[in-house]
Amino acid sequence: MSETGPATTAKGPASSAQQAVPATATGGVTQATIVKKTAPKSDYKAGDVSPQRRVQRSFTVRLWSVRHSRFLEWFYARFADMFLLLHPVWKGIGYGRVEAPVKFVEKRVKGFMFDCRMCGQCILSSTGMSCPMNCPKQLRNGPCGGVRANGNCEVEPDMPCVWVKAWEGSRNMAHGDKILAVQKPVDQSLRETSAWLRVTALSAAEKEKSGAAA
């Protein structure tokens, strides 16, 4: 019998659904291989739908951000300056009104780059561009005691420990020692709000205060 030939049973020829035969009966070739080999050939290739591969891909972008933390630190400083320059615009329209569209963009950009969870109190500049909200324990001040020997997380063994990466990223940054500052606990009331706008409004208020004092 050829590997792809019809299987027969004691009751006669098997239907196509019954042609699934054990690998041992096909000389070690699995049914999946047979299906793949006999599938019609075309230029189309199915997209990668494996959840495991998808997870790895999201780590890939997250890890890229950590590796390029110095550039992102520089870029974010320019971006924050630009946002601050636009303070009169935000104020004129109303911070409350612009929050929805700004949050829409912020969530997608930071979600793609850092797997951001929109805690609303971004500290990426102090954590080597590694988002601490991806730590399953949501630790904001360094790793727990369970980091694996390979540097991965004790809770999610396939994920590099967020704080190991934070330390690595911080070592590339001009102001990487900000990682040593003690962070406050997460204020849950700020969840799903725009950190970009909040930081801008705070900086503008400080600027106005120091301008008035001078």
Under the binding rule (CB under 6 A), the answer on residue 183 touching ligand SF4 is no
CA distances from residue 197 to 74, 120, 180 in whole angstroms, order as listed: 19, 10, 25
Rounded distance, CA 117 to CA 136, Å? 12
Least CB distance to ligand SF4 at residue 173 (A): 20
Min dist. Cβ of residue 153 to ligand SF4 (A): 3
Task: Please give the helix or strand (H or E) that residue 209 lies within, else none.
Answer: helix 195-213
Q: What's the rounded Cα separation, in Å, for the pair 32 and 210?
A: 70
Task: Check binding of 146 to ligand SF4 (CB under 6 A).
Answer: yes
CB closer to ligand SF4 out of 147 and 201: 147
Q: Is 207 in the site for ligand SF4 (CB under 6 A)?
A: no
Q: Does 158 bind ligand SF4 (CB under 6 A)?
A: no
**Residue 132 CB neighbour total at 10 angstroms:** 23
Return the number of the residue (101 or 146) whose C-beta is nearest ligand SF4: 146
Q: Which stretch binds ligand SF4 (CB under 6 A): 68-76, 78-86, 91-99, 140-148?
A: 140-148
C-alpha span between 131 and 68 (Å, rounded): 14
State the residues that interact with ligand SF4 by CB under 6 A.
135-137, 139, 143-144, 146-147, 153-155, 161-163
